[in-house]
Amino acid sequence: MKSIGVFTSGGDAPGMNACIRSVVRTGLSLGLDVYGIKYGYNGMIDGDIYKMKSYSVSNIVQRGGTILKSARSKEFMTKEGRAKAYEQLTKRGIEGLVAIGGDGTFTGANIFHEEFGIPIVGAPGTIDNDLYGSDYTIGFDTAVNTALDAIDKIRDTANSHDRVFFIEVMGRHSGYIAIQSGIGGGAELVVVPETSITMEDVINTLKEGRDKQKTSSIVVVAEGGDQGDAHQIASHVIKELPDLDIRVSTLGHIQRGGSPTSYDRILSSRLGMAAVEGLINGEKNVMVGVINDKITYTSFKLAISKAKPINQELMRLVEILSI
């Protein structure tokens, strides 16, 4: 293999730039030509591809977002679109790809490999931390710390006004951000999709807190749970406990941005290097990850289809520490 391409796709995550930097410099150290593909699969189809040098990735390790930009591509979902993308790659002699993204990115990569046989290694770039095959994904640690910083500030207001705050964090169908930021932020309750917490549980927890003379409480809610979003849960609680002063705060996309933490920079760099070395060593149609601090490779099919369980000990910890 003499030439590889790298691209980012789907939602951006802090640490993607550190991963790009690692891919480019690892590739160059091995004598490869490395091409950057802008705007994900859209750029692959349109030929928005350029050769990268060492200086192309200077001064980006500390930056959030992605210098290669990102987009969701409807055209790549068609076989005609994928054929155009393959034509653009072969025109430049690109023999392998490093895909930095989440489940949507890897779903597309899996189909692309099956149809055209191009080797692809994925690096898990998503703040949700919901991909099977890696203990942590690029951007997760930064997102948790961003959420934690917001929770700390909101708690000051909650204490000052004797209020209950429902704070919604990102995570779609995954409660990882909610659990870790909830523990770090001292939340009285964490509502996540992976557990069977009911509306009655929420109400009872807040009642118990009131009976124990707690003047303020924080409830962290992961988006996309069975009980609804933070606004829906809060509306129901207000009807049952009208004496509580309740507010809702949705943190939203601030969790995706910002300078990556030290952990995310190191994780991203390790995954970028391992992705390139995996391609060179014959790995294909796999996601690189870190499990128990060791580099692993998991098939795309398994990474995107197998549910990643949450740590039940952490949920027990939330319950114990909220007493």
Q: What is the pLDDT of residues 110-139, one digit of tens each?
A: 999 999 999 999 999 999 999 999 999 999
Integer Cα distance of 141 and 235 in angstroms: 31
Question: What is 156-203 written as a DSSP string?
Answer: HHHHHHT-EEEEEE--TT--HHHHHHHHHTT-SEEE-TTS---HHHHH
What confidence score (pLDDT) does residue 228 get?
A: 86
Q: Which CATH superfamily is domain 141-256 in?
A: Phosphofructokinase domain (3.40.50.460)
Q: Assess whether 128 carries a catalytic annotation.
A: yes
pLDDT at 194 over 90: no
**Strand-pair category, 246-250 with 294-299:** unpaired
> 48 Cβ partners below 8 Å, 6+ apart?
37, 38, 39, 42
A 10 A CB-CB count for 296 gives 15
Residues of each annotated binding site for ADP: 21-25, 155, 186-188, 212, 214-216
Start-to-end CA distance of the chain, whole Å, equals: 58
Span of 61-65, 74-78, 312-316 with lowest mean pLDDT? 312-316
What confidence score (pLDDT) does residue 210 get?
A: 87
Sheet (strand 217-222) strand order? 189-191, 217-222, 164-169, 246-250
pLDDT bracket for residue 171 (50, 70, 90): confident
Q: Which entry of 128, 130, 229, 264 is annotated as an active-site residue?
A: 128
Contact 197, 182 (CB under 8 A): no
**Fold match between 3-139+260-305 and 141-256?**
yes
CA distances from 260 to 36, 185, 253, 256, 305 (A): 21, 20, 15, 10, 28
pLDDT bracket for residue 298 (50, 70, 90): very high
Q: Which CATH number fits domain 3-139+260-305: 3.40.50.12280, 3.40.50.300, 3.40.50.450, 3.30.230.70?
A: 3.40.50.450
Q: What is the mean pLDDT of residues 76-99?
A: 97
Domain ranges of the chain: 3-139+260-305, 141-256
Residues of each annotated binding site: 11, 21-25, 72-73, 102-105, 126-128, 155, 163, 170-172, 186-188, 212, 214-216, 223, 247, 253-256
Name the DSSP letter for residue 62. T
Radius of gyration from C-alpha coordinates of the chain: 22
